[in-house]
Amino acid sequence: MFIKLKILLSWLALLLSFTSLFLSSWIILPAPNMFLLTLAVGAPEVSPWLLLLNLLCLLLSFFYIRYRQIQILIFIFNIIGLLICGSVLVKIPLTQKQMDRAMKQALGADYLEKIPLELKAKMRTHPFNLVNSFRGIALGKTRHQKDIIFANPAGVPLKMEVYQPQEVGKYPAVIVIYGGAWQRGNPSANSEFNQYIAQQGYTVFAIDYRHAPQYQFPSQLDDVRTALNFIRKHAAEYEADPENLVLIGYSAGAHLAMLAAYQPDAPPIRAVVSYYGPVDLTEGYKSPPSPDPIDSRAVLKAFLGGSLEELPNQYQIASPINYLRHPLPPTLLIYGSRDHVVKPQFGKQMYESLHSSGNTAVFLQIPWAEHAFDAVFNGVSNQLALYHTERFLAWALRGSVD
Residue 178 per-residue DSSP state: -
Residues 124, 206, single domain; the answer is yes
Q: According to the model, what pLDDT value does residue 344 have?
A: 98
Distance in angstroms (rounded) separating the CA atoms of residues 357 and 326: 6
Q: Beta strand pairing status for 361-366 and 240-250?
A: unpaired
| Same domain (yes/no): 135, 227 | yes
Task: Please report, to the nearest 10 degrees, the dihedral formed by the alpha carbons of residues 363, 367, 370, 372 taken in order.
Answer: -40
Containing 193, the helix (H) or strand (E) segment is helix 191-198
Among candidate residues 91, 123, 139, the one where a domain is terminated:
91
Domain-embedded: residue 103: no
Least confident of 4-8, 186-190, 241-245, 279-283: 4-8
- Strands of 271-275's sheet in order across: 142-151, 158-165, 203-207, 171-177, 240-250, 271-275, 331-336, 361-366
Residue 37: inside a domain, yes or no?
yes
Interval 313-334: pLDDT, tens: 999 999 999 999 999 999 999 9
Residue 215 has pLDDT above 60, yes or no: yes
Residues 272 and 325 placed together within one structural domain of the fold: yes
Q: Based on the domain organization, do 63 and 128 belong to the same domain? A: no
Query: What's the whole-number average pLDDT of the chain?
Result: 95
Per the structure, the count of domains in the chain is 2
Instruction: Please tell me what DSSP assigns to residue 209.
Output: -
pLDDT tens by residue, 293-316: 999 999 999 999 999 999 999 999
The last residue of one of the domains, among 91, 121, 150, is 91
Whole-angstrom Cα distance, residue 269 to residue 260? 10
Q: Are residues 213 and 348 in the same domain?
A: yes
Distance from C-alpha of 265 to C-alpha of 323, rounded to nearest angstrom: 11
pLDDT at 2 over 90: no
Domain of 198, CATH number, reads 3.40.50.1820
Average of pLDDT values for 368-397?
Answer: 98
- Distance between CA atoms of 331 and 335, rounded to whole angstroms? 13
Residues 377 and 341 occupy one common structural domain: yes
The answer to pTM > 0.85 is yes
268 and 228 both lie in a single domain: yes
Output the pLDDT for position 402: 46
Do 365 and 344 form a contact (C-beta atoms < 8 A)?
A: yes
pLDDT tens digits for 58-96? 887 776 666 777 788 889 999 999 999 999 999 999 999
Closest CA to 391 of 92, 91, 45, 125: 125
Question: Could you tell me whether strands 331-336 and 361-366 are parallel, antiparallel, or unpaired per DSSP bridges?
Answer: parallel
pLDDT at 72: 85
In a domain, 363, yes or no: yes
pLDDT digits (tens, 9 = 90+) for 51-66: 999 999 888 777 666 6
355 shares a domain with 280: yes
- Is 142 in the same domain as 20? no
3-state secondary structure of 186: coil
Parent domain of 246? 110-396
Bond prior to 218 in cis (omega within 30° of 0): yes
Domain-embedded: residue 97: no
